Amino acid sequence: MNRAVCLGEILIDCFAEQPGLPRNEVANWTPLPGGAPANVACALAKLGNSVEFIGAVGRDRWGDALIKLLVDMRVGHRGVQRRIKAPTRQVYVTQDEQGDRTFAGFSESDPAAFADAHLFADALEADLFTGASFLVLGTLAMAYTDTRQSVERAVELAAAQGALVLVDVNWRPMFWPDPAEAPGRVYPLLSKAQFIKVSDDEAEWLFGTVSAVAIAQQLPHLKGVLVTAGAKGCQYWLMGNTGTLPGFAVDVEETTGAGDAFTAGFVHQLLHRGHQCLEDAAIARDVVTYASAVGALTTTRPGAIAALPTPNEVEVFLYLN
């Protein structure tokens, strides 16, 4: 069953076109679709998988645009809820003269004011999970009561289908009304996952270590741990098999969405091979290599979703590298 469900935020990232200016002085912005779970859903679809996205957007022009994007990307969107009183989230990002980007606020002052914070659990349709073998989640949803309840319900529905749960921590403190509450809400979610993916910074924050093996020892129920370090590569613990992979040498255009593409590449492999393939050390390494290639290719073009590679592009890249 090569079908997955991704649940969480879908939003608009607004990138400043004038470098070196504060938000209130920027005259022009480039709006691009984003949100980690939505990026993963689009990447999975582009790699040829059946995927359903569940989230919430406002009943506004940005919400219309994001639903059209899902349609164009062939991502199922029956689970997308529309909110009348809560707008689609817009994230403003400025950049300095060197091109380094900085979060510059939301379009509303309250991070809980947006539609993605109000995904209602009682509106989740159980049949959206029928036939799914993976549920992919982030942790930003845990910041908001309504969407947190939807995550908990989705995990129950996935378990009823025998689906595996992957949590990509994706720590973004600005999304949390009270960031101090994050660890206490993230840990219970990790206890229900079979796979987790963290950056090295996130691993240090949550577990006090960047070792995939040490994290697996802290959470012995897990089937896999992936610790990424951007261009430096990644390390993994997958059903007892461990290893470290260097990053691929590519000409980087933009890194936005590379981690989400990595996640999608990993899930794509397990959708087609079955997670039991990870019991073989060589295959486990191949799976992570594939995920790394998908992530690396995404950095070679601008736009988190526009840059996502096709299966043929990944195969050619791996052949050449």
pLDDT at 2: 78
Express each pLDDT in 91-145 by its tens digit.
999 988 776 788 999 999 999 999 999 999 999 999 999 999 999 999 999 999 9
Residue 1: its pLDDT value, please?
56
C-alpha span between 59 and 82 (Å, rounded): 6
- Residues 165-215: pLDDT tens digits? 999 999 999 999 999 999 999 999 999 999 999 999 999 999 999 999 999
For 23, phi and psi rounded to 5 degrees? -55, -40
Nearest alpha carbon to residue 226 among 307, 170, 273: 170
Q: How confident is the model at residue 249 (pLDDT cuts 50, 70, 90)?
A: confident
The per-residue pLDDT for range 278-287, each reduced to its tens digit, is 999 999 999 9
Got the DSSP string for 97-113?
A: TT--EEEEEESSSSTTS
The pLDDT value given to residue 230: 86
For 45-82, the pLDDT digits (tens) are 999 999 999 999 999 999 999 999 999 999 999 999 99
C-beta separation of 238 from 178 below 8 A: no
Q: Quote the tokens at residue 150.
A: 């939807």
pTM: 0.95
| CA gap 49, 114 in Å, rounded | 29
In sequence order, what DSSP letters do the residues of 78-143 get, joined into one string?
EEEEEESSSPPPEEEEEE-TT--EEEEEESSSSTTSSGGG---GGG--GGGGTT--EEEE-SGGGG
266-275 residue pLDDT tens: 999 999 999 9
- What confidence score (pLDDT) does residue 61 get? 97
Q: Write down the mean pLDDT value for the chain.
A: 94
Domains and CATH numbers, the chain: 3-10+35-86+118-320 (3.40.1190.20)
